[in-house]
Structure 1
Amino acid sequence: MCWSKFRKSFLGEKLRLFFPNWVVNVFKHFPLAFLAIVFFGYPARRLRIIGITGTDGKTTTSNLIHWILTSARRKTGLISTGVTKLGTKEIHTGLHVTSPEPWILQRLLRRFVKEGVKDVVLEATSQGLVQNRLWGCHFLIAAVTNVTHEHLDYHQSYQNYLQAKNRLFKRVKIAVLNKDDESYSFFQKEIQKTKAKLVTYGLKSKADFTPQSFPFKTKLLGEFNQYNCLAAAAVTSSLGINKGQIKKAIATFEGVKGRLEEVKAGQPFRVFIDFAHTPNALGNTLKALKSITPKGHFLIAVFGSAGGRDKSKRPLMGEQAAQYADLVVLTEDDPRNENVEEIIEQIAQGCLKAGAKEDKTLFRIPNRGQAMRVALKKLAQKDDIVVICGKGHQQVMYGKTEYPWNDFQVAQKIIKGRK
């Protein structure tokens, strides 16, 4: 067995079968992070690092911050879900995780330093923070988008999840918080214990950045993207970017691949691919699309829930889907070693609770390709909207084996087959 496979199998998840998380984090992850930092010469010390955390919205917010800084002619690095950028150039790293392992992360940071980058926007996941993957990255600014229902399989409780996110704020100079989010009071109290400057944003609360104090235009759909834009504005303004430049950049931002990405293949209805895989994100996405669905036409949602992950969110996702979508098609989404039908049943319980009717407004189709075919070839009619959620930008499906999968390409192929 080669070293990389041994590291991933035994030194990775299998260690957690024998030891609690904290033991693995302290005796495996921390030493690896320390060695990586020393080997690559402490690159973070020569960079201004902006950390973005939260359950949903991290990727859009991170990419938007990078866009604003790049538009202001600041050479900026980006390490985000599905994409790494050095200035305007995309770097193909093959990463499948949001917060990379220390060796990869520190190597990227050293490359940024060598290429003359000064600012780096880095997505910071709760697991990445707890596992010390980001150890040694001293953040100048840290921002939180929201903290909702996710990763409780790993953190065990919402409070532990909050504490994991809070690691990002321990040594920051500027903390940017969503004043409307239920996590605000927790983070606000924690930040008071530090010397960090607090900057707030929100749509409903009195905050430093609101649509009234900072009016802007955006191509992005949905209220949740209004929050993402305000978070990005708060961060970049704190970095000294002129508000006029920020507004101009927000207005020209096209969005992120796999986030409400529209498939245009000549079909008489609209199709979107989205990464929504939490109750909050799914509800926000469906709410945004429902608001633009023509009267008398249907919003059709196709989604599942990943196997080997937080099971408690599944019925909640079902409730959100039945509340906002007219037709719901439940299917697979990285089932791993779990039974797809059982996952679908757990989601369906939430759908039925919210009023969905089996085989009338709720359909169970385990095979994702077949589910998409039913939605796109049988259910969708002229001027309807179909949204395929869960995979977004991802290009791999994790079942009992790993195989290539791309929702966007599959949707295009099915639509072209209609003609």
Structure 2
Amino acid sequence: MFSLRKFIPNYLVNYAWHLPKAILANLYYHFPSKNLKIIGVTGTDGKTTTATMLYHVLHENGFKVALISTVSAKIGDEEIDTGFHVTSPAPWALQKLLQKIADKGYEYVVLETTSHGLAQFRVWGVKYLGAIVTNITQDHLDYHKTWERYVLDKGKLFKNVLFSVLNIEDKSYPILKKFASGKILTYGLKDGELNKNNFSVKLKMLGEYNILNALAVAAVAKELGIKEEKIRASLEDFAGVLGRMQVMYDEDFKVIVDFAHTPNALKVALQELRKKTRKRLIAIFGCAGLRDHNRRKMGEVSVRFADITIITAEDPRTEGVEKISEEIATWAIKGGGQEMSKKEIQAKDKFKYPVYVKINDREEAIAFAIKIAQKNDIIGVFGKGHERSMCYGTKECLWTDQEGVSKILKKYGKIKQ
């Protein structure tokens, strides 16, 4: 089907379509952010966890704070769904939420802010107090075209803020530092003003990447006047986020649901799980259709760390599962993976080399992993996290990994009906 849209440059669409909508939304709702202190959180991976963690720390320390993230918006006891596959909300939805937050007398908002949201003016008119970046790796190049352009689009968040919290160990740091405004606060595992040597914390969540997220949060909390011991106590009390290293089952084997949907996110997740694996590590994932094809390198990442890789559906859209899975498999082969059938994998206890199998149906893929799981295996179900639908063609079908995993565990008698 012929589409004129692909011939229209993104910048023209942004200025002729997205910007006018943002201006109208701000005018209609009377620029509600002028009455709020908004802290933006951006980055390729870890945005939602960091934003939710910051919200938790501020809330626990008496701040009247609300949260707008890709999972939901939290305004007091009310939790508002932000929709299917949503990054930064569209201008009308965002300004309506901000007005509601301001009308209810809240002072602070933690706002997860994406590169698309910045490039497409979805957050135009939002007055930010400060901003955090987690990391910027290769992603969304289908839209931004180059990594440098991607960094510059995210960097828009750091203009005209009172403080910028930057990851000194990330390769984006030298670029962001040049145009970040206000006070620059740095963090890192080893380097930076705040690091794990001068700020130790024991989190309930797995992973050094979550330590990094916590350090970024601590930098903001200290800047806002919260004492270090109170910051640490709040961080150590933080339970985590839906679909982020979420343990679904932990008895004879373990099943974890995680949102990792980029090569870097999958790498850090599998590295962490590899440390915990006493027998075999099984990874289940796919890649979204009509999105950055660089994500399909996840096939290579997976076979480097997992014993068994199961390639399946993850929002194939109009590309189709088979085509996407073949591309992921090509990368798996480059990483040293060898294809096996379900029957071959099921017949083996151990493998001399990493293996992969393609199972198009996601529920079937999860069922196969649970069926072959042995004592002390770890199964990681990646890519969907908190999301509540799967896109086939142009249709959204209801799906959550949590419900899918629970259904199969019940079927095999692992948990009660």
> What is the TM-score of this pair, normalised by structure 1?
0.92
2:397 is aligned to: 403
Seen in structure 2, the aligned counterparts of structure 1 residues 88 and 240 have a Cα distance that, compared at 3 Å, is: farther
Does residue 301 (structure 1) correspond to residue 283 (structure 2)? The answer is yes
Q: Deviations over 1:138-184 (max 9, x none)?
A: 21111100000110000111111011001101111100000111111
Give the Cα separation in 2 of the matches to 1:79 and 1:98.
10
How many Å apart are 1:257 and its aligned residue? 0.2
Q: Deviations over 1:253-306 (max 9, x none)?
A: 010000011113x75210000100000000011111111112xx1010000000
1:199 is aligned to: 185
How many Å apart are 1:17 and its aligned residue? 3.4
Alignment of 1:172-183 (within 5 A): 172-183=161-172
Tell me if structure 2 keeps the 8 A contact 1:16–1:24: no
- The amino acid of 1:204's aligned partner reads K
- The amino acid of 2:8's aligned partner reads F
1:333 is aligned to: 314
How many Å apart are 1:81 and its aligned residue? 0.9
Give the Cα separation in 2 of the matches to 1:88 and 1:212.
36
Tell me if structure 1 keeps the 8 A contact 2:190–2:197: no
Give the Cα separation in 1 of the matches to 2:78 and 2:21.
29
How many Å apart are 1:238 and its aligned residue? 1.3
- Match for residue 352 of structure 1 among 309, 333, 345: 333
Matched positions, count: 397
Does residue 249 (structure 1) correspond to residue 234 (structure 2)? The answer is yes
- Match for residue 413 of structure 1 among 398, 407, 411: 407
Does residue 34 (structure 1) correspond to residue 28 (structure 2)? The answer is no
Alignment of 1:8-407 (within 5 A): 16-94=5-83, 96-191=85-180, 194=181, 196-205=182-191, 207-264=192-249, 268-294=252-278, 297-314=279-296, 316-359=297-340, 361-377=355-371, 379-400=372-393, 401-407=395-401
Determine helix, strand or coil for the equivalent of 1:255: coil
For structure 2, list consecutive stretches of 5 or more residues without a partner in the other structure. Answer: 346-354
- The amino acid of 1:178's aligned partner reads N
How many Å apart are 1:319 and its aligned residue? 1.5
- The amino acid of 1:199's aligned partner reads L
How many Å apart are 1:95 and its aligned residue? 5.7
Determine helix, strand or coil for the equivalent of 1:291: helix
Give the Cα separation in 1 of the matches to 2:40 and 2:244.
20
Tell me if structure 2 keeps the 8 A contact 1:70–1:88: no
Give the Cα separation in 2 of the matches to 1:214 and 1:396.
39
How many Å apart are 1:204 and its aligned residue? 2.6
How many Å apart are 1:405 and its aligned residue? 0.5
Determine helix, strand or coil for the equivalent of 1:16: helix
Tell me if structure 2 keeps the 8 A contact 1:75–1:86: no
Seen in structure 2, the aligned counterparts of structure 1 residues 95 and 334 have a Cα distance that, compared at 3 Å, is: closer
Give the Cα separation in 2 of the matches to 1:278 and 1:412.
25
Which aligned runs of 4 or more in structure 1 are off by greater than 3 angstroms? 14-18, 92-96
Determine helix, strand or coil for the equivalent of 1:245: helix
How many Å apart are 1:16 and its aligned residue? 3.2
Tell me if structure 2 keeps the 8 A contact 1:15–1:24: no
Determine helix, strand or coil for the equivalent of 2:256: strand
Give the Cα separation in 2 of the matches to 1:212 and 1:239.
22
Give the Cα separation in 2 of the matches to 1:90 and 1:410.
23
Seen in structure 2, the aligned counterparts of structure 1 residues 354 and 95 have a Cα distance that, compared at 3 Å, is: closer
Seen in structure 2, the aligned counterparts of structure 1 residues 327 and 127 have a Cα distance that, compared at 3 Å, is: same
- What is the root-mean-square deviation of aligned Cα atoms in Å? 1.3
Determine helix, strand or coil for the equivalent of 2:379: strand
Give the Cα separation in 2 of the matches to 1:91 and 1:402.
20
Give the Cα separation in 2 of the matches to 1:43 and 1:268.
52
**354-363 vs 74-83, which moves further:** 354-363
Fraction of identical pairs, as percent: 45
Give the Cα separation in 1 of the matches to 2:25 and 2:142.
28
Give the Cα separation in 2 of the matches to 1:150 and 1:29.
22
